[in-house]
Structure 1
Amino acid sequence: MPNDPIEPQAVYQPITRSAIFIVATLTPGAEHAATVRAWCADVAALVRSVGKRVPGGNLSCVCGFGTDAWDTLFGGPHPASLHAFREFGAGDRRAVATRGDLLLHIRAEHMDLCFELATQLIGRLGAAVTVVDEVHGFRYFDMRSMVGFVDGTENPVDREAVDFTIIGDEDLSFAGGSYVIVQKYLHDMTGWNELSVEAQERIIGRTKLSDIELDESIKPTCSHSSLTTLEEDGKEVKILRDNMPFGSPGKGEFGTYFIGYARSPAPIEQMLENMFVGRPPGNYDRLLDYSKAVTGSLFFVPSQALLEALAERNP
């Protein structure tokens, strides 16, 4: 964003081969809150220090805060669209809300870089936070998801990525920031692999090998791509996904870590409602017959300058 004076965090960086996702909760107490605030000024320096050890490793970190954590740590003003994660659906098909005060999205070409940075960042926080979820993700062949389809094909790029992910004058106090929703999905790979390729393609809405979108005449309205495509005033509204597969074959765990960035949480929430409730209601995403969301949190990502300035906040 060479013409924009407000530098965002590394939201729209190129997708890397490795990532670590950490969600943590705050430890109550003024001393612990002060530790987290001071840590905000150290994040960028730690990224630079670790990244210098492997030039070309594309190390980055995005740091976000949940709504309760923002109020506890920084007080007002409050990002306009920051709120608790909204649940959608019911029963076994539900986008669940789970507690999360702090998000770290660490990316690099090599897992050792991610691991070292995570160690340094969490080490600085110490007893001030408790890690409630940590996922180590990897690139799966040619950008495939765990279910075997290419992921993120319709991601916005270049200026379009900025326009869809970075807050502008609609919330001037938080310009340069972004919103991010994360969910951890676990897949029934046994059931999924029992389906024919053609059946899988109708659920996803794209061809499996060539990653071509199915023709509208044959693509079901309940397909994943149909329900996650949004239009407003005749134009498509996009989000930026940086999903990563993860798993443990020995435990029979196979999953996808969904992470979506946008300048407002509204489009991501609409996509989730379409998936879990249906468009119209009942016409839900059939991928959810084989995938279960086990976490869900919403965070605000301040601009780089604001992140460092938050160290001086005292509510």
Structure 2
Amino acid sequence: MAREQLGICAEANLHGSYLLLNALEGHERILRSKLARLPQLFDRLAEHFSEALLSGVVAIGSNYWDLLYPDARPAELNAFADFSAADIELAAVPVDFLIQIRSDRLDVNIITCQQVLQMLQGHVEVQELLQGFRYLDGRNLTGFIDVPWNPKARRRRQVSLIDAKAQPVFAAGSYLYLQQLVFDHASWSQLTLTEQEDIMGFDKVHAKPLHSSRILPDSHRLMMQPIVDGADILMQNMPSYQLKQQGLIQLAYAASAQALYSQLSHRVGLSSGSVGHDLLLNYHRIELSAAFFAPSISFLELAAKA
């Protein structure tokens, strides 16, 4: 039975670190070996710092997959969607690797990043290090609960991990969309509470959906839930904050890349049922978008031996 990467479905942590890496040309063989060792590194550090609840995810970019693993490709793995007709600029960027590290201790995240980079030194270039954090009781910088419709308990694994019957080779793997959004806090703070709730589609205190007579068809809640309750996608978002730039690191995991594509096309106003783009995007700029696949630990280990 395939072993999934535990960081995909892990519960929320206090700190998140996201390494975006590009591979050096011709280093595929050694990278296959080193990537297979990263889950062992995460396990060792998680045991050593047990109170930190450390978890990690190794994900391979859609554009780099065929060079790294030429013998097998996930059926739905494609480059990040190019919606040239949309009003929203998606800023799609090819990234070879995403290493997601989350824990309840920032120092443990830093130690883990250091050891990951030490292991991969000489074989990759660092494109970016994004840092996220838990804000209040799971809110984003709008002040609203982030993704209150997220699947819970066992449903998290069901919606995010590929079933063995669907794709035996890639069982327990997950498709992943990463987006970095920059938040216009100054404009958002000028809105009244009612205006903010109308944009979000749920109330600010308890995250309860607005009454049907009030909710707007292009509100954030409805645009992010084109399929019943959005239950086919697991969001693992974290706010980010720097003095001159604040926003959201948005990660969407799914057992089907089509689910990710459908949600995104609906959000930018290009699906058949769309009435426009998500109103919340009027207060965000998308800085980066990339598509990845997070294979099972079993796949990483077997591919390293090939």
Superposition TM-score, scaled by structure 1 size: 0.91
Q: Per-residue deviation at 1:26?
A: 1.3
SS class of match (1:82): coil
CA offset digits 1:11-55 (Å, max 9, x no partner): 1111111111111111112xx222311202311221122223322
Q: Distance in 1 between matches of 2:230 and 2:295?
A: 26
CA contact (8 A) 1:47 1:60 kept: yes
Contact kept in structure 2, 1:100 and 1:297, CA below 8 Å: yes
The answer to whether residue 204 in structure 2 is matched with residue 212 in structure 1 is no
Equivalent position of 2:296 in the other structure: 303
1:34 to 9, 24, 29: 29
1:82 partnered with 2:77: yes
Distance (Å, rounded) in 2 between the aligned partners of 1:25 and 1:76: 21
Q: Which runs of 5+ in 2 are unaligned?
A: none
Conserved 8 A contact 2:134-2:238: yes
1:124, CA displacement in angstroms?
A: 1.0
1:237 positional shift: 3.7
| CA deviation vs aligned residue, 1:60-91 (integer Å, no higher than 9, x gap) | 11111112322111212111111111123557
Aligned residue in 2 for 1:255: 247
Q: Which amino acid aligns with 1:289?
A: N
| Match of residue 244, structure 1, among 234, 238, 245 | 238
Alpha-carbon separation, structure 1, partners of 2:84 and 2:18: 25
Alignment map for 1:82-231 (pairs within 5 Å): 82-88=77-83, 90=85, 93-168=88-163, 169-231=165-227
Equivalent-residue separation in structure 1 for 2:100 and 2:126 (angstroms): 13
Q: 1:167 to 1:216 in 2, by over 3 A?
A: same
Aligned-pair distance for 1:225? 0.4
Q: Is the 8 A contact 2:179 2:290 kept in 1?
A: yes
Q: CA deviation at 1:282?
A: 5.0
SS in 1 for 2:63: helix
Does the 8 Å contact 1:94/1:293 carry over to 2? yes
Find the partner of 2:16 among 13, 19, 22. Answer: 19
Cα displacement (A) at 1:231: 2.7
In the alignment, the residues of structure 2 paired with residue 21 and residue 217 of structure 1 have an alpha-carbon distance, to the nearest angstrom, of: 41
Give 3-state SS (helix, strand or coil) of 2:178's partner: strand
The secondary structure found in structure 1 opposite 2:136 is coil
Q: Deviations over 1:265-285 (max 9, x none)?
A: 211221111111255455211
After superposition, the CA RMSD in angstroms is 1.7
Seq. identity, %: 28
Question: Partner amino acid for 1:277?
Answer: G
Q: Does 1:292 align with 2:288?
A: no
Cα distance in structure 1, aligned partners of 2:220 and 2:142: 12
Give the structure 1 partner of residue 261 of structure 2.
Answer: 269
CA distance in 2, matches of 1:127, 1:74: 20
SS of residue matched to 2:43 = helix
Instruction: Report the residue type matching 1:248 in the other structure.
Output: Q
Is this contact kept in 2: 1:65–1:102, CA < 8 A? yes
Q: Quick check: 1:61 aligned with 2:53?
A: no
CA distance in 2, matches of 1:191, 1:43: 42
Displacement, 1:236?
Answer: 5.4
Which moved further from structure 2: 47-56 or 267-276? 47-56
Does the CA contact (< 8 Å) of 2:32 and 2:300 recur in 1? no
Distance 1:74 1:159, change over 3 A: same
Per the alignment, do residues 177 and 302 of structure 1 end up closer, same or farther by CA in structure 2, a change over 3 Å counting?
same
Report deviation, 1:94. 2.0
Structure 2: which amino acid aligns with 1:42? R
Q: SS at the partner of 2:101? A: strand
More moved, 137-146 vs 303-312:
303-312
- Size of the alignment, in residue pairs? 303
Give the conservation status (yes or no) of the 8 Å contact 1:230–1:237: no
Which ranges in structure 1 are unaligned for 5 or more consecutive residues?
none
Give secondary structure in 2 for the equivalent of 1:145: coil
Distance 2:82 2:127 in 1: 19
Q: Which amino acid aligns with 1:110?
A: R
